[in-house]
Structure 1
Amino acid sequence: MSRPGRADGGSLDAETLAFLTRPGLTRLWTQARARLERNGLQPTGTLRLQHLDAPEREALSLLLARPVTGPTATIRLPDLDTRLRASAAGRGLAATLEELGPPLTDRRAVRDAAAAERARVWSTAETEAESTSLSSQPWVARWLEDLRRGGTLARQDPHTATTVVVQAIQTLAVLFPATVADPTSVSWGRGELATRATGSAHGLDDGTLLSRLVLRGIALAHDTEFPTDAPARRALWRTASVTPDEVSSTVLTHGLRPTGGTWQEAALRERADHHRETHLTLRELRTLRPTMPSGTRVHVCENPRVVEAAADAGRTAPLVCTSGSATTVVLTLLDALAEAGCTFAYHGDFDWPGIALANRVTRRYAAEPWRLRAPDYEYLATRAQLHGVPHLPLTGPPVEAAWDPELAPTMNALGIALHEEAALDLLLEDLG
């Protein structure tokens, strides 16, 4: 490879390209590419190729214009760069590698640019905190430092990170204004606050990055722990005089007859007397503290159809429906009933999500299983087969039933999923 390089500096000619792409040089180009990308695309340093085979020794000897005879070759990248410029390649190492493969990436420059972008995020955040006077709050410096060290924003692209942290600062500045002695004297709806910060009423919904950042600030401001569940998050919002949406989520009930004298309890009794179901919101449950007869047994089901059928059949037993998920509003009602001295019996779907939900309810409230044991499942599966009901296959990972170690193996063996409606007639008998 001793011919002079091409004067026009264009693409490599076919003969030169064929030589440079021979298998014996593959390892050299791979290691040289990695080194240049780490070195800011500069041909500096030394490569050491070990365990060379005969084709590699031959190719390296021709390329370097010196004999390579042993199993190891040490190659100085400045010498390789000079050799390539004087050869038929007619260009340095970096240009040659780009001819042979994809464009080189200056990883050092990429890292530096990323670090500069991250620095701009925090510089913007600090400037925004100063301009809104939020920085005058004693907890803000720690809040920003926690965000910086926590890595949550570092995993976002710089534009998103900057947007969210600025929105969080603006939101917290509204909640903790420097010129108001008692910030809790001003109340906000969470949707209203979110619209002001983001333009969307859902910008501070549970699970959003912005809501997590704002809640961390509120927690620090009130010197309390960061909330780990929905009820605790709602409580923390209220400490900052922010009212979460407490009317869109409801819990379905039937037959509740509290004995207290409040209008809410009277309304529940009246609806129960007329066999009408009742949807209770979190807003209502905040003030409802039902007084129940001692030892009242409350049945809890998973599917609204059970409530509907109980109302149609004029059943009288108290009934609460989870609607397939133990949400905050469901747990709030069950907590209030437990505090009033009620006991619970639980029934749900015979499928794995149904067993998981049943585990949660039975463990939290020491609820008795309600026609939810292995013999109940076997009976319903057999009855469905006798009646020619099409099988619904049991899918997903098995879940052990906390109340009956035989239930999961029995369900696994039969492989049939049974929704709560399969036991509807039996449940209605119990609710009489």
Structure 2
Amino acid sequence: MTGPERADVRPPDADALAFLTRPGLARLWTAVRTRLERNGLRPAGAIRLDQLDAREREALSLLLARPVTGLTVTMRLTDLDTRLRASAVGRGLVAMLEELGPPLTDRRAVRDAAAAERAHVWSTARSELEATLLSAQPWAAQWLEEIRRGGTLARQDSHTAITVITQAIQTLGALFPGTNQPPTPATWGRGELATRTTGSAHGLDDGTLLSRLVLRGIALARGVESPADAPARRALWRMASVTPDEVSSTVLTYGLRPTGGTWRERALRERADHHMETHLTLRELRALRLEVPPRTRVHVCENPRVVEAAADTGGGTEPLICTSGSATTVVLTLLDALAAAGCTFAYHGDFDWPGIALANRIRHRYAAEPWRMRAADYEYLATRAQLHGTPQIPLTGTPTDAEWDPELTPTMAALGIALHEEAALDLLLEDLGTSVGTHPSGDSP
């Protein structure tokens, strides 16, 4: 701006305002606005307009008080600013464009402020590293530089960025204290550690930005790769002597008979003999010796009702594991252990698109065979439901290819009916009582 605008200058009269907003000047004001915002709202430099039409030439001639006859015109912003001040408009470019709206943005000032905020974030982080003595750790500088280059914190507002990086440094400082710092517990509970450094027991929960930054620091400190999934994250926490919550999430089992000789394995066999279901935590799974006879066949279902019904009928000699919807870490931990023990798997779930997606994941991870999950099974169950007058659930969402049976997805899409696992409950119980039963189509699952 060439000088302060007078606060008592009256707004342009109606004729001046009508002239400024005429269509022939629209391109001019757009170009001027862009240049001013780049220039820190100073009327400096020049703009050029090409391919002028007759309407634009007329409007520019009146504005500049000189004939504009060609297809191109170049204007210095200082000259245009002076011209507007001396005219009936009575004010410079910045004030005039602000009045016409929308408000101008000093993009240079915005960039400078953002750069200053980023510098403040990293200055604060380096100071915190020194304060916690974490800077003495050989990996700490690499960790901080990786975070800076990654841009994760740059996408946060400065207050959030400073809070998160400070808490991450304090958390790592508690896990890797300097020699002159007070002693810390030999083993932390993750909730206890989170409360200490964030004030919330959930501050280091999976999925938070803070937990990702801390885990990257632990990985660098221990010389391992960053974790790619939930089991790997838990393992990495344990490498830093942090115990995740391993008791609140459970996996539902039935008929699990490990051959180990400790009281844990004996308790599972006894519950199986009494036809009782069992919920196992991650903590229990780590202590179990999951040895089973080679090639033991494990049935996997999606819904707890299947386990409940199997226990009620007292049938079945083979293990049954329930994913309880999308398989969580504790479910996958048990299935991984059974796979390592040489078990084979058969899977059944809901006939809807999320159910098909889950079946694909279980099939990929464990080479599981479909258990009454082929197109013929779906058609049989859909027909039976219609004959019994069972209310139909529309099949909604985006179709998912059933990778084990190319006919299943088009069959489901054609009939448009979702079938929950309970629709096949009697057939599943029959299979569990006598090993895998006969497929409606005559095929083995």
TM range, normalised to the smaller chain? over 0.9
Relative distance call for 1:315 and 1:376 in structure 2 (3 A) is same
Contact 1:6 1:89 in 2 (8 A): no
1:156 paired residue number: 156
Alignment of 1:170-189 (within 5 A): 170-179=170-179, 186-189=186-189
Q: CA deviation at 1:415?
A: 0.9
1:306 aligns with 2:306: yes
Secondary structure, counterpart of 1:383 in structure 2: helix
Deviations 1:362-402 (A, max 9, x none): 12111111111110111000000100111111111111112
Amino acid at match of 1:406: E
Asked if the contact 2:49–2:73 (Cα under 8 Å) also holds between the matched residues in 1, the reply is yes
Task: Give the SS at the match of 2:418.
Answer: coil
Query: Corresponding residue for 2:250?
Result: 250
Name the CA shift for 1:184/1:353 in 2 (closer, same or farther; >3 Å): farther
Separation in 2 of the partners of 1:88 and 1:341? Answer: 90
Q: How far apart, in 1, do the equivalents of 2:34 and 2:108 lie?
A: 12
Given that 1:6 and 1:88 are in contact with CA atoms closer than 8 Å, whether structure 2 keeps it comes out as no
2: distance between equivalents of 1:147 and 1:137? 16
What percent of counterpart residues are identical? 80
> In 2, are the aligned partners of 1:12 and 1:99 still within 8 Å (CA)?
no
Q: Which amino acid aligns with 2:386?
A: Q
What are the equivalent positions in structure 2 for 1:81-92 lying under 5 Å apart?
A: 81-92=81-92
Determine the structure 1 residue equivalent to 2:125. Answer: 125
Q: In structure 2, what is the equivalent of residue 59 of structure 1?
A: 59
The reply to whether residue 327 of structure 1 matches residue 331 of structure 2 is no
User: How far apart are residue 295 of structure 1 and its match?
Assistant: 2.0
Paired amino acid for 2:72: T
2:275 maps to 275
| Deviation (angstroms), 1:294 | 2.4
**Aligned residue in 2 for 1:261:** 261
User: In 1, distance between residues paired with 2:330 and 2:75?
Assistant: 70
Q: 1:366 maps to which residue? A: 367
> 1:180: Cα distance to partner?
7.3
Whether the aligned pair in 2 keeps the contact of 1:345 and 1:368 (CA below 8 Å) is yes
Asked if the contact 1:302–1:321 (Cα under 8 Å) also holds between the matched residues in 2, the reply is yes
The CA deviation at 1:184 is 9.5
Unaligned runs of 5+ in 2: 434-445
Which digits, 9 at most, give the CA deviation of each residue in 1:282-306, with x for residues without a partner?
0011111222122211111000000
How many equivalent residue pairs? 428
CA contact (8 A) 1:25 1:56 kept: yes
Q: Does the 8 Å contact 1:289/1:336 carry over to 2?
A: no
Q: How far does residue 94 in structure 1 lie from its aligned partner after superposition?
A: 1.1
Aligned pairs (5 A) from 1:413-428: 413-428=414-429
CA distance in 1: counterparts of 2:132 and 2:74, whole angstroms: 60
Secondary structure of the corresponding residue to residue 71 of structure 2: coil
Report if aligned partners of 1:52, 1:72 keep a CA contact under 8 Å in 2.
Answer: yes
Q: Secondary structure at the match of 2:225?
A: coil
1:331-359 deviation line (CA, Å, top 9, x unaligned)? 11111112222211111111111111111
| Residue 36 (structure 1) aligned with residue 42 (structure 2) | no
- CA root-mean-square deviation: 1.7
One-letter amino acid of the structure 1 residue matched with residue 393 of structure 2: L
2:381 counterpart of 1:380: yes
SS in 2 for 1:47: strand
Match of 1:167 in 2: 167
Query: Per-residue deviation at 1:11?
Result: 1.5
Contact map agreement 2:174 2:184 (CA 8 A) in 1: no
SS of equivalent to 1:331 = helix
Q: Distance in 1 between matches of 2:40 and 2:240?
A: 50
Per-residue CA distance 1:212-241 (angstroms, 9 max, x = gap): 010011011111111010000000000000
- Check whether the contact 1:6–1:90 (CA below 8 A) recurs between aligned residues: no
Q: 1:48-88 deviations in whole A, cap 9, x for unaligned?
A: 11121222111111110100011111111111011111111
Q: Is 2:276–2:311's contact at 8 Å kept on the other side of the alignment?
A: yes
Secondary structure (helix, strand or coil) at the match of 2:168 reads helix
Q: What is the aligned partner in structure 2 of residue 228 from structure 1?
A: 228
In structure 2, what is the Cα distance between the partners aligned to 1:237 and 1:180?
24
Query: Per the alignment, do residues 164 and 7 of structure 1 end up closer, same or farther by CA in structure 2, a change over 3 Å counting?
Result: closer
SS in 1 for 2:19: helix
**1:348 corresponds to:** 349
Unaligned runs of 5+ in 1: none
Quote how far apart the aligned CAs of 1:7 are: 10
C-alpha distance in 2 between matches for 1:315 and 1:155: 56
2:291 corresponding residue in structure 1: 291
In structure 2, the CA distance between the partners of 1:245 and 1:140, relative to structure 1 (3 Å rule), is: same
Is 1:404 the counterpart of 2:405 in the alignment? yes
Paired letter, 1:403: W
Larger mean Cα displacement after TM superposition, 289-298 or 408-417: 289-298
Query: Residue 376 of structure 1: SS of its match in structure 2?
Result: helix
Q: Counterparts of 1:40 and 1:340 in 2: how far apart (Å)?
A: 69
Q: Which amino acid aligns with 1:86?
A: A
Aligned to 2:443: none
